[in-house]
């Protein structure tokens, strides 16, 4: 397991963002942004280690309303009806605010810029980061994401699986919930790593996964944040879009739309990949990210 070299807390207004830094400090800076309801440990240690081996210093962090970062518990739990009918009325924050949290992590690390890699909602945050803070981004990688909630909409079974999430009362419930979700949204072409999923579910619960309103609040942020395609048209950094051809949660149209929106973006798709990061594809993804970084002009 790759040990954290540095852990710390970044601050953005009244929000505290918990982060950790992996790898030697003198390599290319790379920021990982995780998705809906997933903590920074959703980026597997071995995946991060592969990036370190390819010349990156890797930072990963807990988004707001997740893990050890600030939770917006006082904002309550938005109703599912309001989330989709009137998300602006129940959103405690937006994706732009979450992108500003990511900038705060760079500030705390003393990084003027970084290669930014986001998965799922993290890809949406990474897109907002590149639009709102272009000088802080060296390259952009958007994985299994979309520029608009209206593009690549989830299949009914996947949407219902996430919508059924309720209170979790102990670590074993958290472990089984994690496996249950990824049995539906994961990659049909690759084995499901149930051991890792259960371990991650337990660790997430222990790190602050018991807030049942957190995921709906993050979902409200997604739904209230609008379409990013016009903003992405102005992105001028090297951009990579990775998507699974069997993704039921953000269907491949989301990846295609992201790549089409960014001038010169490269789209890479994988057969049999759903809405997760299959271990068998890690080397290919890591090589693509490293190749993208090599194409960037000097910071």
Class of domain 6-294: alpha beta
Q: Are 116 and 129 in contact (CB under 8 A)?
A: yes
The yes-or-no verdict on residue 9 having pLDDT over 60 is: yes
- CA end-to-end distance (rounded Å), the chain: 30
pLDDT digits (tens, 9 = 90+) for 61-89: 999 999 999 999 999 998 888 888 888 99
pLDDT digits (tens, 9 = 90+) for 136-188: 999 999 999 999 999 999 988 888 777 665 677 889 999 999 999 999 999 99
pLDDT digits (tens, 9 = 90+) for 89-109: 999 999 999 999 999 999 999
- The set of residues, in sequence order, having a beta carbon less than 8 Å from that of 128 and lying 6+ positions away, is 95, 96, 98, 99, 225, 228, 231
Give one word for 64, left, alpha or beta, with left for phi > 0 and alpha for psi -120 to 50. Answer: beta
Q: Can you read off the two tokens belonging to residue 37?
A: 């309801």
pTM for the whole structure: 0.96
**How far is it, in rounded angstroms, from Cα 7 to Cα 59?**
9
Arithmetic mean of pLDDT, 276-289: 98
Instruction: Output b/e per residue, 12-49; b: 16+ Cβ within 10 A.
Output: beebbbbbbbbbeeeebbbbbbbbbbbbbbbbbeebbb
pLDDT digits (tens, 9 = 90+) for 256-279: 999 999 999 999 999 999 999 999
Q: Contacts from 194-197 at CB under 8 Å and sequence distance 24+? A: 196/44
Write phi, then psi, for 238 (nearest 5 degrees): -55, 135
pLDDT digits (tens, 9 = 90+) for 200-233: 999 999 998 667 889 999 999 999 999 999 999 9
**How far is it, in rounded angstroms, from Cα 127 to Cα 124?**
5
Q: Are 178 and 204 in contact (CB under 8 A)?
A: yes
What value, to the nearest 5°, has the Cα angle with vertex 17 and ends 8 and 154?
A: 135
- The residue ranges of every structural domain in the chain are 6-294
Supply the pLDDT for residue 165: 59
């Amino acid at each position: 397991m790759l040990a954290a070299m540095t852990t710390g807390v970044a601050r953005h207004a009244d929000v505290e963002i918990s982060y950790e830094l992996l790898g030697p400090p003198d390599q290319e800076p790379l920021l990982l942004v995780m998705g809906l309801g997933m903590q920074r440990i959703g980026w597997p240690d071995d995946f991060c280690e592969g990036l370190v081996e390819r010349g990156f210093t890797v930072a990963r962090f807990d988004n707001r309303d997740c893990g050890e970062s600030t939770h917006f518990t006082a904002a309550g739990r938005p109703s599912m009806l309001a989330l989709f009918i009137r998300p602006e009325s129940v959103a405690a924050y937006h994706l732009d605010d979450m992108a500003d949290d990511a900038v705060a992590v760079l500030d705390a690390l003393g990084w003027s810029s970084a290669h930014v890699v986001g998965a799922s909602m993290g890809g949406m945050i990474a897109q907002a980061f590149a639009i709102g803070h272009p000088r802080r981004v060296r390259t952009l990688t958007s994985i299994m994401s979309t520029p608009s909630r209206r593009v690549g909409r989830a299949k009914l079974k996947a949407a219902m699986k996430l919508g059924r999430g309720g209170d979790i009362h102990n670590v074993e419930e958290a472990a089984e919930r994690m496996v249950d979700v990824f049995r539906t949204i994961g990659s049909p072409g690759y084995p499901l790593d149930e051991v890792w999923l259960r371990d991650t579910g337990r660790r997430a619960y222990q790190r602050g996964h018991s807030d049942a309103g957190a995921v709906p609040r993050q979902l409200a942020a997604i739904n209230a944040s609008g379409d990013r395609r016009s903003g992405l048209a102005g992105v001028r950094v090297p951009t990579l879009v990775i998507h699974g051809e069997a993704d039921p949660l953000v269907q491949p149209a989301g990846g295609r739309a992201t790549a089409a929106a960014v001038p010169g973006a490269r789209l890479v798709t994988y057969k049999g990949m759903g809405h997760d990061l299959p271990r068998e594809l890690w080397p290919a993804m890591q090589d693509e990210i490293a190749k993208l970084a090599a194409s960037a002009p000097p910071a």
